Structure 1
Amino acid sequence: MAKIFPAFLVSVALLAASEAGAFQAPPNDSTGDGYHIRAGALDDALNAFAAQSRVQILYSPSLVANRRSAGLDGKAPTREALARLLQGTGLTAVAVNANTYLLQAVPRPRPVAPPRATVRRESTPPSAPTQLDTVHVTGTRIPRSAFQTSTPLTIITREEIRASGHQTLFDLLRLMPGMTGHHPRDVATGGGASQVPSAAAASSSLYSLGPRATLFLVDGRRMANYGLVSTDMGALSDLNGIPLSMIDRIEILHGGASAIYGADAMAGVVNIILKKDYSGGEITANFGVSDRGDAEQQRLSASIGLQTRGGGSVFLSADHFTRNPLVGSQRDWSTLDQQDSGLRDARIPFGYYFGNYYVPIDGCEDRDAGEGGKPCSLDRARYVSLQPGITSNAFYAHYRQPIDNNGEFYADLRATRVSLEMQNAPFYGLVSLPEDSPDAFAPLPILPLAYAFSEVGPVRNRTVTNTRDATMGLRGYRGRWEWDLSLAQRRNKVHNRIDGLIDESELFEAAEHGLFRFDQSSKSNEVIERIAPQNTLGGEVVLDSAVANFDGPLFRMPGGDATVAVGAEYRRERLRSRPGASFVNGNVALAQDMERSKSSRNDSAVYGEINLPLHDTLSIDAAWRLDRNGGFGSRVSPKAGFKWTPTPSLTLRGSVGEGYRAPTLFEVRRPMMFGDTAQIPYSDAIGPCLIPIDDTATCLVDQHATVNPKLKPETSHSRTLGVIWQPAEAFSLSLNHYRIVRNNEMLVINSLQRPELYPEALLRDEEGYLYGVNVYLDNVGRTEVRGWELDADYRVETARWGKFAMRLNGHYLDRLIRRSHPQVPALDYAGYTTPDRSLLGSVQWNYRDWIATLNLRYMGPAKVDFGDPTVDCMKRWKRAGKCSTPSATLVGLNLAYGGFDHWLLSLNVSNLTDHAPVNYDESAGGYSIADDDPVGRYYLISATYRF
């Protein structure tokens, strides 16, 4: 068998099979002629074992570097043979599934409890194989010898991360089927303040339930929430602070998991596993550039793993990453002018606003400004950041040291500093001019002026996020029970500096004294700095936690040991919000009301989980968790599941559970509100109006943001049902169905359009006249989501053409039913504005020193946003045949060569066909910010040196 990438520096899949035909040998049967593996390098021995046993072995080459094997001869079951091959190497194999194993360093001795005096101790023969270890898997706190649990689980290996070509965790996760990306630009301008970038995080979530329903973990522990966030998003996790170079694998648990992990796990869990037990070191450098010569990026990362005296280890890693920004003007398709598609020109016109018409300003005859001419419209899409600029520096250290034969001390430290730069269009809006203003419309001076402050330049923000994570703990064994005690602190500190916003008071004072003219004449720098000073926002979240976990066997059952995990955790979260003085005083035009605040909360929980192997083919799981959240009482979250294998090739599984999420510190304060006054359409529900306008058609009211003392936790019900079919070792197929219902959703009430639904929000004077409304969060929403997930895997090896591996992940969103109030009809949003189906596939070919991976991503069509999903299609779109955005398929190619000693060289080409986005929503600027690739064909070259 040809040697496969001895210099490979990331997880390597050794895929082996007899030929292109079906496999007949059961996974634990020995080979027909037995094993014949010579003593030598462990890397070569594993290659030979994979070929002779027809199994897949996942490991990092740095893990086997400088290790030797004594070889293997004779017949034995696969598990026993692999254990013998690893004997004396300091490594162990974890069973991933029936024919896949994951290599890990032996973490520590796992002793057996001393026998009772009445039981004769039997000596262990010298030839006894090393015991194959188990591994903790997301979705359960009980160690398992297989990754198949009652709830669907997707594992993204290090090799898959490398072959994808993605350089940020956000880009990797947002494109996974069933996940939705929350772009920094969407997060920055949420909550109605579309021109005021209040934050700049990047996150993703499962099943269109938003970031409040997906829990992100790092090594099984909660991340600190992002320090700045809008009310729309609640509390979310910023993915920019975790470099991909430090990640060993990612585990995505699909379906509700509140019974195991508590709040924020209603839709599922994403557990990011960092690298730890590595031997040797590596340095990686890469450079990327688009086909058009822009969006450059560079990465330099280094890591080293060392063994300490007494069997411990130290792992150190550092990463530096930069990526240049990409703005709309660098792509022709990024425009609000959709006339080429048969739709309208949605650019924002300038001029005096009269009803729905604009009277052009003097000197403006066209909607486009020629050379030296005055601009007559604003194309926002030409200014916005399609891809933010990033500069990231990160450091990570892991230390592990055995204390005795039964325990060890461990500690982690991770520090990152991420600077993210974005821009938006120049500030624009309707300006009410004094009647005596020289810029007022002479025939009708009261007309407001639609104006863009192009002299100030685009709205730009630079957000610096500092993350500090520290963990220390003790773990060990007592008899056959494992225990783990840990303390951790997670800290996320954000400082946001914003340029290009307008100070209303300074603007009108400058206009009143004639220092600022709206005739688009040039202004002095002093005046510009006065009306558009730099503004700042600051925030910090600190999460302190203590966790105790115990697991082990209870008693013997027909299918094996009944095992249980019990534990408790305590968390204290602190939030500090520090908006600048201009935001607090309300001077920033079109900004949300903000206030400085400082708050904290203590949460605690106890939990238990049990696995009962009723038979070799049937096991059931049950979990129970009691959460106590400061100010919101206690709540129990149960969950139960089963896994049944009626035949060796068929497995059925399912789970049901309840979820619970108390309001976060971001939601128990006043919601950020947009504007001090608003208009309510007049109706019998509002009664007499204090300030009627437009001939009593509407009522002018004040808005007041308040805290709702009656706010309650959200709850959910979830269920999953799936089947796994594996007729041969080379092929597996799983199909899963899920349904999640979230009740008591916390939403910002909208009393302006439907005042009859919120009579308690209406403020009246002593005579009953309506003068204001309260804005607050309330438990009025409900969402039901249902869908299907597909996972297929096929591997084959040929004697002549090498090895092939094919994988396919798919997601279909069957229902996304939202209701904003119990008295409002429920609407189905599946396939509305975003595709309801997606596929992610890869074909990998290993041949000698080469590995080639072809990646494909399919996105289905999406219905154009008409403001109501019940609207089939509006006339303008129907005439143009543009009612739905078309489907798209993106192709990527990754080539890697490991024929040089110590080196791995690779080339990745993403979006190989240079597919340009298409979106018929006239306000979207030509693409979907959540789904599309705005960069185009992109080249990334990488070089890794191992030592």
Structure 2
Amino acid sequence: MAQDDTSAAKTLDKVTVTGSLIPQTQIETATPVTVISAEDIKARGFSSVTEVLQKNSMSTGGVQGAQTSASFTQGAETVSLFGLPPGYVKYLIDGRPMSNYPALYNGSDTFNNISGIPVDLIERIEILPGGQSSLYGSDAIAGVINVILKKSMDGAVFTIRGGGYSEGGGGSFRASIADGWTSADGRVSVLGGIQHEERDPIWGYQRDLTKQFNPNGYSPALASRDFLIYSPFTSYKFLDPNNCQNVTGLFGGTEGLQNRPGFGDGKYCGSFNTAGYRTIMNEKTSTQAYIHGTFDVNDNMQLYADALYSYDQVKYHSGSGYLWWGTGADFGYFYDPNLDDLLNLQRAFAPEEMGPGGFNNTMSRDKSKSLRVTFGAKGAFGGSNWDYDLGGTYTEYKLDENSFVRYAEAADNFFINRVLGPQQGLDPYYDAYPVFTPNYAAFYRPITPEEFASFTGRAITKSKTSDSMIRAQVTNGMLFTLPGGDAGLAVVAEFGKQKWDYNPDPGYLDGSIWGQTSVAGGGDRDRYAVTSELRLPIWEPLTISLSGRYDAFKAGSRTIDKPTYAVSFEYRPFDSLLVRGKYGTAFRAPTLSDLYQGNSGYYSSVPDYYQCSKIGFGPDNIDACPAALSNRQFFGTQSGNEDLKPINADVWSAGVVWSPVDRMALTVDYFNWDISDEVTQQSSNGLSLQDYRCRTGIDDINSPLCQSTLSQVTRNAAGMITAIYTPKINVSNQQLEAINASFNYGYDFGNWGDLNLRTSFTQKLRHKYQQYAEDSYVDLLNNPYWSADPKRKADGSLTWQKGNFSATWYVNWFDATPNYAATISDKGYAGNRAQKFGSYSRHNASVSYRLFDGMDLSLMVNNVFNKMPPYDFSYPGTSSAPYNSYNFDVYGRAYYIEMRYAFGNK
């Protein structure tokens, strides 16, 4: 955009930083922002945006990922700031919100998948901790992460990178090219880039820790039960006349006769090595394309547009433990008249039965496509100090989950014809279970790939999210003059529409797919918001900033609205010291899945307080009530709730920035959250207790509370609880205090080169959680049953550069974490075998050398010392991964070689 010298100087002096809408000269403001540049990403050896964010010291919370077998979103990646839920982070690309991932984290929560952002096309990533809803609206409770893509280049850059793991698997290749062009008159500028990546999976059998069932646990290692017959009365029955000889070639020749003492005759056919037949890193193929352009219409108007397209396919396998068939799912039990017993068959499928490729043939494939398009105009109103920016953004995310499944009818018929034989009526004892006289020898035999294919196939679940937004902003950085400088004002208005649809394959819903279910859901809403920010330099050392926002979401006939505000100060007693603070409110609106998720079922147990009271055992003496009533099993139904209200938070921070010399800065910031009205599933225990109070007259049975409770608790003709409806409700509370500190220092040693140190440290001081109002608070820092997150985490890098050579050493460290025994005991660290592991660190190293102008070669080694997770001996012998996959991974040492060539201007 053409401009006079005065305007140009103003543009150069002022920048827009995440955390403020008003351009300003100071990079450090009232809100701390961590900036990770493209150079930092490369030097530290990070291969993806996910790795950049998960290694950051503020990411203290563990999250599900590729190592979490059979999770709801195994093909997606996310992050948890300060141990808060992943959905409490607001993700932006170039300052505008990302579209949500269509599938739900843990099957219930909306979140963002960050795996599809092209790391080679990133200019920088800015992490803004603390509540930021007064500027960015819903979800910005834990903080904001803004990914800023490249906007200008002096010439084309081509990058190619390849690598793998010293332990095997995970081989990868990535190539990217980006170029920029500016017209001769400078009015048109275009930048475009494309990145393509391919990565092999890592299988459990490729790592010593995950290739077999735990041989060093507190109990003996136990083989998988791949061919098992069991009875509810006499436990295991071994009925193979060939003693497993017919199946010894399965699972790589590891299948054989096994024994579990204490389970009847204890014999079955199994293997210690089936644990390794799952992926612990997804196979991945992805391509991203990006284009950005501007056109200066005149001195006061610039048109801009950009588009980002991402294609991502991941393949993964949950393991042999999730690929089996049994009679229990269909019949409960069957009756064998020859043995006069109720029995069940259980049978896993081996790779040799799947044809060439084995388990590779049965991997699930999640294919996603996302598109983000932005266009608009910005400039100035004539010769005034008022700037404007009017633009629209449309994002959509489509997900196809292609899952390998067993067809219920075909699988049952296959084994009826092969093993069970024709049904011969119902059992003589209960008149409920089918009667078969099986050919047990046929049960203990492999099947052919053709037979396996006859009852298996694929099911496709389609889902989609979209978010359209029109945004208008006016800004005046010189509104009026105060003793400390020019006051600034920004006002923003937004209108948008959000949609979510999740459509499972019909077979999951009608029972035609064996052993698996799903939940459908979908809805849309309109969104409105008005934001304002006022920056007031009261006098030269002190600046006060005020911001406020009003958000409204219209879903169906209901409007959910929420105002938020923040006030902050910056005090500079002298140039090298900044004292800052901020107080504000934040919120998270009920997500579309919170509102419109369909019904899903589960089984659990609850005290039947009413029936116990009838035989003399009140709520204060419920433990003495007979187990049949004090531990009553019921079928639960959960769902979304259209009456949910926003999650609310009060958040404040205070800190200092000290920079006594050039290239040195020390920052220390304290953060405090008080989060209320969090969404959780309604308490079945609380409903049973309230049902008792209503039925016994303690509370008025005709009151709205009692009428609602009685409609949610279902009893049979005998008066026993059989079902409870537990929708999502707003009741939980969370309180968190944390400190984040950073120290950066650089020094030029002249002929000896230049040294640059960057460090960051985070410590959680207090973290308490209350699930229901009647509950006492849980100390999440010291109660491992509730949280296994570390209290402290740090990372740092040291870079030395001399001439054409540079080298970086990076360290990622986190504090002690509990072992498995501590996480499963309600006694915490006082439980049997419970203890803490010591602190844990990993090191990355990289070296780069410029061969000639434009040509750089780099070698990166991640996890230099090939450090594996600490072996957790408190896991039982049935465990397939004796370590905490939320805190550790077993990938081992990785190495990458990268070549970068810049054409034209270097």
Q: Same fold (TM over 0.5)?
A: yes
1:301–1:318 contact (8 Å) kept in structure 2: yes
2:480–2:486 contact (8 Å) kept in structure 1: yes
Residue 13 of structure 1 aligns with which residue? Answer: none
User: SS in structure 2 opposite 1:821?
Assistant: coil
Shift of 1:510: 3.3
Residue 314 of structure 2 aligns with which residue? Answer: 420
User: SS in structure 1 opposite 2:52?
Assistant: helix
**C-alpha spacing 1:178/1:446, structure 2 compared with 1 (3 Å):** farther
1:650 to 566, 570, 577: 577
**C-alpha spacing 1:757/1:566, structure 2 compared with 1 (3 Å):** farther
Measured in 2, the distance between the counterparts of 1:897 and 1:782 equals 52
Measured in 2, the distance between the counterparts of 1:914 and 1:537 equals 39
Shift of 1:687: 7.6
Letter in 1 for 2:533: E
1:944 to 897, 900, 904: 900
1:157 aligns to 2:61 (yes or no): no
User: SS in structure 2 opposite 1:424?
Assistant: coil
**C-alpha spacing 1:354/1:825, structure 2 compared with 1 (3 Å):** farther
1:498 aligns to 2:403 (yes or no): yes
1:445 aligns to 2:341 (yes or no): yes
Q: Deviations over 1:81-139 (max 9, x none)?
A: xxxxxxxxxxxxxxxxxxxxxxxxxx6537879xxxxxxxxxxxxxx978633211111
1:666 to 593, 618, 621: 593
RMSD: 3.3
1:182 aligns to 2:76 (yes or no): no
Residue 833 of structure 1 aligns with which residue? Answer: 788
Measured in 2, the distance between the counterparts of 1:356 and 1:784 equals 49
In terms of fraction of residues, the more helix-rich structure is 2
1:673–1:775 contact (8 Å) kept in structure 2: no
Letter in 2 for 1:147: I
Shift of 1:341: 5.7
User: SS in structure 2 opposite 1:529?
Assistant: helix
2:414 to 492, 507, 510: 510
Residue 819 of structure 1 aligns with which residue? Answer: 770
Q: Gaps spanning 5+ residues in structure 2: where?
A: 258-268, 421-439, 616-624, 692-708
**C-alpha spacing 1:924/1:453, structure 2 compared with 1 (3 Å):** closer
2:108–2:594 contact (8 Å) kept in structure 1: no
Of the structure 1 ranges 513-522 and 226-235, higher mean CA displacement relative to structure 2 is found in 513-522
1:555 aligns to 2:480 (yes or no): yes
Of the structure 1 ranges 225-234 and 731-740, higher mean CA displacement relative to structure 2 is found in 225-234
Measured in 1, the distance between the counterparts of 2:202 and 2:560 equals 47
1:786 to 737, 741, 746: 737
Measured in 1, the distance between the counterparts of 2:868 and 2:813 equals 14
1:173 aligns to 2:73 (yes or no): no
1:637 to 564, 567, 572: 564
Measured in 2, the distance between the counterparts of 1:928 and 1:461 equals 24
Measured in 2, the distance between the counterparts of 1:695 and 1:446 equals 23
Q: Deviations over 1:41-78 (max 9, x none)?
A: xxxxxxxxxxxxxxxxxxxxxxxxxxxxxxxxxxxxxx
Shift of 1:767: 7.6
Residue 206 of structure 2 aligns with which residue? Answer: 330
Q: Deviations over 1:510-555 (max 9, x none)?
A: 3333367783422244543344331211101111110001111321
1:393 aligns to 2:393 (yes or no): no
Q: How many residues align?
A: 812
Shift of 1:869: 7.5
Shift of 1:232: 4.5
Measured in 2, the distance between the counterparts of 1:378 and 1:783 equals 43
2:67–2:280 contact (8 Å) kept in structure 1: no
TM-score normalised to the size of structure 2?
Answer: 0.83
User: SS in structure 1 opposite 2:209?
Assistant: coil
Measured in 2, the distance between the counterparts of 1:129 and 1:554 equals 18
Of the structure 1 ranges 644-653 and 241-250, higher mean CA displacement relative to structure 2 is found in 644-653
Of the structure 1 ranges 867-876 and 256-265, higher mean CA displacement relative to structure 2 is found in 867-876
Measured in 2, the distance between the counterparts of 1:242 and 1:406 equals 33
1:845–1:852 contact (8 Å) kept in structure 2: yes
Residue 98 of structure 1 aligns with which residue? Answer: none
Query: 1:885-900 counterparts in 2 under 5 A?
Result: 885-900=837-852
Letter in 1 for 2:417: H
Shift of 1:199: 5.8
**C-alpha spacing 1:891/1:488, structure 2 compared with 1 (3 Å):** same
Letter in 2 for 1:270: I
Residue 697 of structure 2 aligns with which residue? Answer: none
Measured in 1, the distance between the counterparts of 2:686 and 2:411 equals 32
2:470 to 534, 546, 560: 546
2:232–2:342 contact (8 Å) kept in structure 1: no
Letter in 1 for 2:641: N
**C-alpha spacing 1:440/1:210, structure 2 compared with 1 (3 Å):** farther
Measured in 2, the distance between the counterparts of 1:655 and 1:476 equals 31
User: SS in structure 1 opposite 2:103?
Assistant: coil
1:877 to 830, 833, 841: 833
User: SS in structure 2 opposite 1:159?
Assistant: helix
**C-alpha spacing 1:433/1:147, structure 2 compared with 1 (3 Å):** closer
Letter in 2 for 1:280: G
1:380–1:424 contact (8 Å) kept in structure 2: no
Q: Gaps spanning 5+ residues in structure 1: where?
A: 1-106, 114-127, 191-196
Q: Deviations over 1:430-459 (max 9, x none)?
A: 742899999969767335455434456756
2:522–2:592 contact (8 Å) kept in structure 1: no
Shift of 1:508: 3.2
Measured in 2, the distance between the counterparts of 1:622 and 1:844 equals 39
Query: 1:301-320 counterparts in 2 under 5 A?
Result: 301-311=176-186, 312-320=188-196
Shift of 1:846: 0.8
1:711 aligns to 2:605 (yes or no): no
**C-alpha spacing 1:747/1:730, structure 2 compared with 1 (3 Å):** same
User: SS in structure 2 opposite 1:204?
Assistant: coil
1:549–1:567 contact (8 Å) kept in structure 2: yes
2:141 to 253, 258, 266: 266
Measured in 2, the distance between the counterparts of 1:726 and 1:353 equals 71
Measured in 2, the distance between the counterparts of 1:480 and 1:142 equals 12
Shift of 1:227: 1.6
Measured in 2, the distance between the counterparts of 1:360 and 1:848 equals 74
**C-alpha spacing 1:413/1:707, structure 2 compared with 1 (3 Å):** closer
Q: Deviations over 1:619-655 (max 9, x none)?
A: 1111100000113432110111111122333221111
TM-score normalised to the size of structure 1?
Answer: 0.80
Residue 853 of structure 2 aligns with which residue? Answer: 901
Measured in 1, the distance between the counterparts of 2:54 and 2:895 equals 20
1:135 aligns to 2:15 (yes or no): yes
Q: How much identity, in percent, do the aligned residues show?
A: 23
1:224 aligns to 2:224 (yes or no): no
Measured in 2, the distance between the counterparts of 1:410 and 1:464 equals 31
User: SS in structure 2 opposite 1:800?
Assistant: helix
**C-alpha spacing 1:326/1:157, structure 2 compared with 1 (3 Å):** same
Measured in 2, the distance between the counterparts of 1:703 and 1:229 equals 20
Residue 373 of structure 1 aligns with which residue? Answer: 256
1:593–1:672 contact (8 Å) kept in structure 2: no
**C-alpha spacing 1:111/1:442, structure 2 compared with 1 (3 Å):** farther
Shift of 1:404: 0.3
**C-alpha spacing 1:449/1:157, structure 2 compared with 1 (3 Å):** same
1:738 aligns to 2:689 (yes or no): no
Residue 236 of structure 2 aligns with which residue? Answer: 359
User: SS in structure 2 opposite 1:513?
Assistant: helix
1:582 aligns to 2:457 (yes or no): no
Q: Deviations over 1:365-388 (max 9, x none)?
A: 999996452542566752332211
1:494–1:539 contact (8 Å) kept in structure 2: yes
Residue 379 of structure 2 aligns with which residue? Answer: 476
Shift of 1:393: 0.9
Measured in 2, the distance between the counterparts of 1:244 and 1:439 equals 60
2:567–2:582 contact (8 Å) kept in structure 1: yes
1:187–1:230 contact (8 Å) kept in structure 2: no
Q: Deviations over 1:134-174 (max 9, x none)?
A: 21111111112122121211000111011122221112111
Residue 125 of structure 2 aligns with which residue? Answer: 250
1:281–1:305 contact (8 Å) kept in structure 2: yes
Of the structure 1 ranges 618-627 and 910-919, higher mean CA displacement relative to structure 2 is found in 910-919
Letter in 1 for 2:849: Y
User: SS in structure 2 opposite 1:303?
Assistant: strand
1:275 aligns to 2:150 (yes or no): yes
Measured in 2, the distance between the counterparts of 1:875 and 1:442 equals 47
Measured in 1, the distance between the counterparts of 2:541 and 2:826 equals 47
1:854 aligns to 2:748 (yes or no): no
